[in-house]
Amino acid sequence: MHLHTSIPFQLHIYPTAQILYAYRAHGDSMLELVRTTLTYSDFLYQSVKRDINNKYRRSALGYVWSMLNPLLMMLILTLVFSTMMQRDVEHYPVFLFSAMLPWTFFSTTLQGSLRSISRNAKIFGQIPVPKYLFILSLTFSNLYSFAITLVPFIAITLLVGHPLSWTLLLTPLCLLPLLATTIGAALLAATLNVFFEDIEHLTTVLIRGLYFLCPIIYPASMLSEKTRIILEYNPLFALITLFRDVLYFGKLPSSYLLGITSLTSLVILSLGYLIFQRAERKMIYFV
Amino acid sequence: MNEEVAVSLDNVTIQYRSYKERPHSLKESVIKFIKTGQIFNHATFNAVENLSLRIKRGTSLGILGSNGAGKSTLLKVIAGVLPPSSGTITINGKLDCLIQLGAGFDSELNAVENIYLYSALRKRSVKEMKPRVRAILEFAELTEFATTPIKYYSSGMSARLGFAVAMDCNPDIFVVDEVLSVGDSRFRKKCERAFADILSGGKTIVMVSHDMNALKRICSEAVLLSAGTVAYRGTPEDAIKIYMDDGYKTRLSSLKAEANQ
């Protein structure tokens, strides 16, 4: 029975109620990892609830802000780009919004993850808890924001008269590779930022660059064949396309797209976790 | 392992890297690599050095020592949050610690929400905590402020809450760092009574304090730390006498010489 399992050190409970701190060099198995996370489900729930309350309930306009923010952004971008894109894109606000949804989720989580470990140093300086919990909690609060933002998305779709397709219901499926990619990237960024303070600046620049390297404000078809092939190496390219297919074009994503996003997201998640996991023990010395 | 031993440390060393020498950014690392061809060579120092300590069940051990002797580092090792550079630690029972009162509290949340959050970090569910909240608030004397966000609390109030929550965990081994210095004298007495209850229940306390009178009252044994090693172990009275002695430094070196023989 594992009552006190945490990632940095395993506490085995022996029949004699002896707990042995064995500092393990290698990681836990996937199953153990899931089990550990589940034992902290209450913490995750509490912490996500707190984040959401802080974000929405404690501000004067509450949820209206969460709708207003993307709507204003949408309005500005539409004003600037819709005439430019007129020939290539129909209903530009919906086109834009369908890509902004996954992008905002990814970029806010990645940005927020940078300081998530040092911010919680006081907690794990006293209680041995796996440090990835703070990144998970951040991811889930942003996931909540994603879900909330679907409301203004649907409103805009209806408002501009864009057909609302049943494929909208496939969003949860598309979220799986997005979640894996985001968590993997966040783990990697958070880990590196503990050891190298300038990773934060680097990531900010990277996020800004990625925004333009993904087909968010423009359709992929506008790119020249050569550029597109290069840009497709960016793992977010396929993810954005996936969401746009489902939310804007109203079509089933191709099996190629599903395959490539699943594969890259799993690679990114594993890589992020492996690096995080190797560094986790040392973090307490650096934060 | 002996059932009577609650905490056992064997040849534990904690090595810190020199803050000054380690590169703090990618830029600095690259520069260092270009200059020296190495990144990972830092000056190190041992906060705790080759320390072995056995704490029997039912004892209350006080840890004494001047600043930088390694007291807090030692507590963090016992608490399981600081992995030792070498050596092993064995903990026999459920451990909880109060190293920083109120660590894990969120200032935006009220007392009840904080109790849930804090307990969830210790894998105690909301369901489990619900019936206990009232008693915790009563112990902390905060019942009437239960719905006030703790950012409006005085430092004494949040310290009381932290203490009450930790006491509610009912651990077998209680690790305490300098927490008796908070709260008014009445609450301090209450805490000491709670400690006495813990001890009479056959549980173990490991505490760091600069309050010599409290150490004398609570502890049955004391350890004097110096430069990360145990310089003296004995009754609290004797340890305090050595520690307070003017010739502390000279006495220490002679004690070390004795130990080495």
Measure in Å the smallest separation between the Cα of B81 and chain A Cα atoms: 5
pLDDT of residue B20: 65
Of B17, B91, B97, the CB nearest to A126: B97
Provide the CA B155 distance to its chain's centre, in angstroms: 19
Q: Choose from B15, B46, B114, B121 for mutation: most chain A CBs within 10 A.
A: B121
ipTM: 0.84
* H/E element, B9: strand B5-17
Q: Provide the 3-class DSSP secondary structure of residue B96.
A: strand
Contact A77, A217 (CB under 8 A): yes
E strands, B124-170, in order: none
Given a contact cutoff of 8 angstroms between Cβ atoms, the answer to whether B87 and B47 are in contact is: no
Q: Which residues of A touch B173 (CB under 8 A)?
A: none
Give the pLDDT of residue A163: 92
pLDDT digits (tens, 9 = 90+) for A145-181: 999 889 889 998 999 899 999 999 999 999 999 999 9
Say if residue A24's pLDDT is above 60. Answer: no
Partner residue opposite A43 with nearest CB, options B94, B109, B120: B120
d(CA A231, CA A35): 38
Number of alpha helices (DSSP H) and beta strands (DSSP E) in chain A: 12, 3
Judged by CB atoms closer than 8 Å, whether chains meet at B123 and A3 is answered as yes
Which pLDDT tens digit goes with each residue over B185-227?
A: 888 888 888 888 888 888 899 999 888 888 888 899 999 988 8
Q: Which whole number is the average pLDDT over B109-116?
A: 91
pLDDT for the residue numbered A74: 80
Helix (H, G, I), strand (E, B) or coil at B10: strand
DSSP-derived secondary structure for A55-91? IIITSTTTHHHHHHHHHHHHHHHHHHHHHHHTTT-SS
**Cα separation, B47 vs B68, whole angstroms:** 8
Phi, psi of B172 (to 5 degrees): -80, -35
Flag the least confident range among A121-135, A147-161, B145-159, B240-254: B240-254
Instruction: Establish, for the pair of chains A and B, how many residue pairs have beta carbons separated by less than 8 Å.
Output: 107
Among the partner residues A18, A23, A40, nearest to B123 by beta-carbon distance: A40
Q: What is the pLDDT of residue B21?
A: 67
Q: Which range in A200-214, B34-48, B117-131, B231-245 is most confidently predicted, on average pLDDT?
A: A200-214
Residue of B nearest to A14 (CA): B92
Classify strands B204-208 and B173-177 as parallel, antiparallel or unpaired: parallel
A10: confidence class by pLDDT, cuts 50, 70, 90:
very low
> What is the rounded CA–CA span in Å between residue B94 and residue A207?
44
pLDDT at B130: 92
